[in-house]
Amino acid sequence: MSEDIILSTSGLTKEFAGFTAVNGVDLSVKRGTIHALIGPNGAGKTTCFNLLTKFLAPTRGSIVYNGRDITRQKPAEIARLGLVRSFQISAVFPQLSVMNNVRIALQRKRGDSFDFWRSEDVLRSLDKEALALVEAVGLSSFADLPAVELSYGRKRALEIATTLALDPEMLLLDEPMAGMGREDIERIATLIRKVSKNRTILMVEHNLSVVASLSDRITVLARGQVLAEGDYVTVSKDPRVVEAYIGSGVGHGH
Amino acid sequence: MAEVLPADGSVAHAAAERSTASLHRNVMIGIAIALVIAPFVAYPVFVMKVLCFALFALAFNLLLGYGGLLSFGHAAYFGMASYVCAYAAKHWGFNPEFAILAGTCVAALLGLVFGSLAIRRQGIYFAMITLALAQMVFFFSLQTPRFTGGEDGIQAVPRGKLFGMINLADDRTLYWVVALIFMGGLLAFYRIIHSPFGQVCKAIRDNEPRAISLGYRANQYKLAVFVLSATLAGLAGSTKAIVFQLASLTDVHWSMSGEVVLMTLVGGLGTIFGPIVGAIVIVSMQNFLATLGAWVTVIQGVIFVLCVLLFREGILGVIAKWIKKPL
């Protein structure tokens, strides 16, 4: 079971006018692992991520999730299959309270919610579960606050609580630590490790120390192609990787 | 960071929601009382005009304030419903309740067709498509005088007898019917925005990509809220046709779409009761400043600019901020 592949791509390619952002990427993510996608700026990580989450349509290649071809699926549909993404810019519902942010995800269990004639009191049964999730990310004292009033780090925490409310089989995290202070980073890293039990996580992340401590497997992208793959020790010693990072002229905090 | 026990959090959460709900209930009761008193202190036809426009503004606010969709062609649903209701009452001899129902249903259908075209685009493009479609309705109305009466409109629409029994010719009698329709519309609006459906709409309004990533098919919700809004706008337009015994090109003109935007912004976008206040302000202004002629439009323009510059939340938005509770 541990060698089981949950998500794979073959020959995944995305061309924008006159520019190939992602070029023939073959990626395999093993079930139950934390897999990181790294690379210097402009390597195509975010494009790759958007292809996997269906927010972009690939020019060529295919994506298979749990044995099902999802290459042409719409974003809402893959969420329904248990493949849920987070966003780089904190993605909360700013005017909804912290509680209702989480509850809107729990509400998905009811299926579609087109019942405009029913009172929202029917959602009360979800409150307990919502609060438990809010508490799990350390936000219980902010439960009634509109999400817009949270600090950046707490918005990220709320976003993770909302994502977990869907109980997804696989999480795709887009730079979960972007713009965070050291204290927040440690808290979110602990949280990611905690939720990775019984789940698969694929993340794009800039912070290499986070990648080193969290990931089971790392894929390095450069100029839209896979440069290297393996665990952190293997990858960090690969001369091509070192060169790609130095060549890009961007320093990364260790 | 101060941690609160889950039980306390849950209780606090429920208590906060209950106090907001009871505030809203009290405001509703206040509105009902005001509706009972109004015809004795004000001219009933004037109050009915305010109520029709308030209902129209509520419909618009449902779409913009809670669906996040700026339609610049809401006159189409208001005006077309007005025509259909007037035509059905005058030429087919429909009872007023069926004439209003017919107008409302046509507005819903029109909303379904126009909405499914418009929701394919976002932001300013969405607004432009709704405007273009509404202009089509305007020119259609202008070009089909056999149906709309062209420049004359449909005049002398019979108010008829409600359920074939209650004669509505008397303003006072009609007033109670209109007040009930308005109250029904307000309660429907309140229920919609506080339903499981309303929750999803607010989420999509706040952050559409995120709502999609949670598995919500955003376009279906947007279309549904569009149709509901068009339906309520149709109810307002139909009722207006019965009250004034007239359906005219004014009802489908783009300036009507602009007026409803103005009412909603003045009253408070995304507030529950704001559009009612906005309708009262704008309709009163038009009535009491009527002697100034074209200057009314100028004054409206000034108010609009002041509103946008000074209090963007609108009248009730500002009050809601003071009392720290949604209104």
The residue ranges of DSSP E strands in B168-270, in sequence order, are none
- CB contact under 8 Å between B217 and A91, yes or no, is no
Q: Report residue B130 as tokens.
A: 């709704």
Domain encompassing residue A55: 5-247
Mean of pLDDT over chain A: 87
Q: Does B214 touch chain A (CB under 8 A)?
A: yes
Over range A99-122, report the average pLDDT.
91
Residue A39: pLDDT band by 50, 70, 90 thresholds? confident
Please indicate, yes or no, if residue A77 is contained in any of the structural domains. yes
Residue A155 has a CB neighbour count (10 Å cut-off) of 21
Reported ipTM: the value is 0.82
Amino acid at B245: Q
Tokens 């500002």 locate to: B318
Chain B partners within 8 Å of A84 (Cβ): 213-215
Of residues A100, A115, A128, nearest to B10 (C-beta): A128
Closest to A53 in 3D by CA, of A77, A33, A18, A30: A77
Residue A37, classed as helix, strand or coil, is strand
Domain assignment present for A194: yes
pLDDT at residue number A251: 45
Task: Give the orientation angle of helix B44-61 with respect to helix B274-288, to 10 degrees.
Answer: 140
> What's the total number of domains in chain A?
1
Task: List the single residue in A93, A97, A105 with the smallest CB-CB distance to B207.
Answer: A93
Of B148, B131, B139, give the one whose Cα is nearest residue B74. Answer: B131
Report pLDDT for A180. 76
pLDDT digits (tens, 9 = 90+) for A179-218: 777 877 888 888 888 888 889 999 998 888 888 889 999 9
Radius of gyration of chain A measured on its C-alpha atoms = 19
Q: At what angle do helices A152-165 and A182-195 cross, to 10 degrees?
A: 10
Rounded CA separation B140/A40 (Å): 58
Residue A137: phi, psi to the nearest 5?
-100, 15
**d(Cα A175, Cα A37) in Å, to the nearest integer?**
10
Please give the Cα distance from B275 to B61 (Å, whole number).
Answer: 7
- Written as one letter, the residue type at A200 is T
Indicate which CATH number applies to the domain containing A173: 3.40.50.300
Per CB-CB distance under 8 Å, the chain A contacts of B210 are 87, 91-93
Q: In angstroms, rounded to a whole number, what is the distance separating the alpha carbons of residues A34 and A191?
A: 13
Residue A254 maps to a domain: no
What is the distance of C-alpha B321 from the center of its chain?
Answer: 23
pLDDT in tens, A114-168: 999 998 888 888 999 999 999 888 888 999 899 999 988 888 889 888 988 998 9
Greatest C-alpha distance within chain A: 63
Supply the pLDDT for residue B7.
47
How far, in Å, CA of B199 to CA of B215, rounded?
14
CA distance B249 to chain A (A): 33
| % of chain A beyond a pLDDT of 70 | 95
Q: Does B191 touch chain A (CB under 8 A)?
A: yes
Tell me B246's DSSP state.
-
Q: Which residues contact B116 (CB under 8 A, 6 or more apart)?
A: B223
In a domain, A15, yes or no: yes
Residue A238 has a pLDDT of 86
**Residue B304: per-residue pLDDT:** 80
pLDDT, position B95: 93
Q: How buried is B101 (Cβ within 10 angstroms: 0-12 exposed, 13-18 middle, 19+ buried)?
A: middle
327 residues of chain B, pLDDT tens digit each: 344 444 455 566 667 778 888 999 999 999 999 999 999 999 999 999 999 999 999 999 999 999 999 999 999 999 999 999 999 999 999 999 999 999 999 999 999 999 999 999 988 999 999 999 999 999 999 999 999 988 899 999 999 889 988 888 899 999 999 999 999 999 999 999 999 999 999 999 999 999 999 999 999 999 999 999 999 999 999 999 999 999 999 999 999 999 999 999 999 988 999 999 999 999 998 888 878 877 888 888 888 888 878 888 888 988 988 888 888
Distance CA B299, CA B82 (A): 28
Residue A253 domain-assigned (yes or no) = no
Residue A252 has pLDDT above 80, yes or no: no
Nearest to B196 among A105, A113, A138 (CB): A113
For residue B252, what pLDDT is reported? 95
Q: Is B245 exposed, middle or buried (0-12, 13-18, 19+ CB in 10 A)?
A: middle
Residues of A in contact with B202 (CB under 8 A): 93, 95-96
